[in-house]
């Protein structure tokens, strides 16, 4: 399960690599690569980890992942439809050193300054969806034109930084495998009781050593990381399933105490679970 670093399988003469994935699961292992990645979620939903940020993805979401930024997209197994993602892989020098420093690309400088932390794009999503969903079916020349338009749209869009400066580091070798094993175990078992003894055993460390190790590499405690994943799952259940009451959602998300669930949910989301459901429930 040694997954880091990950090499994008693109031919050497390709400047912009387009990947269209459709299947049961995305690549569900923590990994990083030297290329910048722009990804459209065309189908599916689930949980992502980008750097030290844990969040939820759904259809039509667009993400930008910087060079060597660890990330993982894990599909929600309860969703029956296949997952589909369209991704572009490139570097600032793909079209020659200094290409994006030309005066004509002044608007793109913010893009390259911001991508290192990872971005979620919040506006211009309809236009980005059209361009990204079609890019695999057009000529290389038209891909280049579309790519420039995509960079322009992202540069002008509202966006949210995902990771934090302290987290920008490379995982390599055994450390990459260890972090991947920890994340994978947690994402597969968040709904169960997970003790520090269990997860530190996965990392082959003592609980105290593991706590220090995890905090240094993710900028958060393991307990807070686990709570982030649980609250994310609760948000999905609140918005998609009105048949479940708040207590049932609490237990399905790994909380054994309703009062603790309500308190943690409000501290992270700023509203109670009931108010969140009223605002976001999909009819």
38-79 pLDDT, tens digit per residue, is 999 999 888 898 888 888 899 999 999 998 888 889 888 777
Q: Over pLDDT 90: what percentage of the chain?
A: 52
User: What is the SS3 assignment for 208?
Assistant: helix
Q: What is the CATH number of domain 17-165?
A: 2.60.120.280
- What pLDDT shows up at residue 165? 54
- Would you say the CATH fold of 190-280 matches that of 17-165? no
Spans of all domains in the chain? 17-165, 190-280
- What pLDDT shows up at residue 1? 29
The three-point CA angle 172-176-180 to 5° equals 165
Output the six-digit token pair for 200.
């530190």
Query: Which top CATH class is 190-280?
Result: mainly alpha
For residue 248, pLDDT over 80 is answered with yes
Output the six-digit token pair for 266.
């409000």
Q: What is the mean pLDDT of the chain?
A: 87
- What pLDDT shows up at residue 240? 80
Going through 196-236 in order, the beta strands assigned E by DSSP cover none
Express each pLDDT in 187-238 by its tens digit. 889 999 999 999 999 999 999 999 999 988 888 899 999 999 999 889 888 9
At 173, is the pLDDT very low, low, confident or very high (cuts 50, 70, 90)? Answer: low
Question: What is the SS3 string spanning 108-170?
Answer: HHHHHHHHHHCEEECCCHHHHHHHHHHHHHCCHHHHHHHHHHHHHHHHHCCEEECCCHHHCCC
If you write DSSP's letter for every residue of 34-88 in order, what string do you get?
A: SSEEEEEEEE--EEEEETTEEEEE-TT-EEEE-TT--EEEEE-TT--SPEEEEEE
């Amino acid at each position: 399960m040694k997954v880091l670093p990950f090499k994008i399988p693109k031919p050497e003469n390709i400047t912009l690599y387009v990947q269209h994935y459709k299947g049961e699961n995305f690549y569900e292992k923590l990994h990083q690569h030297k290329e910048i990645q722009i990804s459209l979620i065309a189908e599916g939903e689930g949980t992502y980890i980008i750097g030290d940020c844990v969040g939820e993805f759904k259809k039509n979401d667009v993400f930008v992942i910087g060079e060597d930024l660890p990330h993982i997209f894990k599909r929600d197994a309860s969703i029956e439809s296949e997952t589909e993602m369209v991704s572009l892989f490139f570097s600032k020098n793909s079209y020659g050193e200094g290409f994006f420093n030309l005066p004509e690309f002044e608007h793109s400088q913010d893009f390259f300054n911001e991508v290192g932390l990872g971005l979620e794009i919040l506006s211009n999503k309809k236009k980005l969806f059209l361009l990204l969903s079609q890019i695999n079916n057009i000529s290389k020349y038209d891909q280049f034109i579309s790519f420039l338009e995509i960079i322009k749209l992202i540069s002008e869009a509202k966006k949210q930084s995902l990771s934090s400066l302290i987290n920008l580091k490379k995982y390599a070798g055994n450390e990459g495998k260890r972090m991947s094993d920890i994340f994978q175990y947690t994402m597969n078992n968040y709904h169960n009781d997970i003790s520090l003894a269990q997860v530190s055993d996965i990392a082959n460390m003592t609980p105290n050593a593991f706590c220090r190790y995890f905090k240094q590499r993710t900028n958060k405690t393991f307990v807070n990381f686990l709570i982030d994943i649980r609250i994310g799952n609760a948000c999905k259940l609140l918005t998609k399933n009105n048949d479940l009451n708040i207590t049932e959602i609490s237990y399905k998300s790994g909380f054994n105490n309703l009062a603790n669930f309500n308190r943690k949910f409000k501290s992270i989301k700023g509203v109670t679970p009931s108010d969140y459901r009223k605002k976001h429930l999909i009819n």
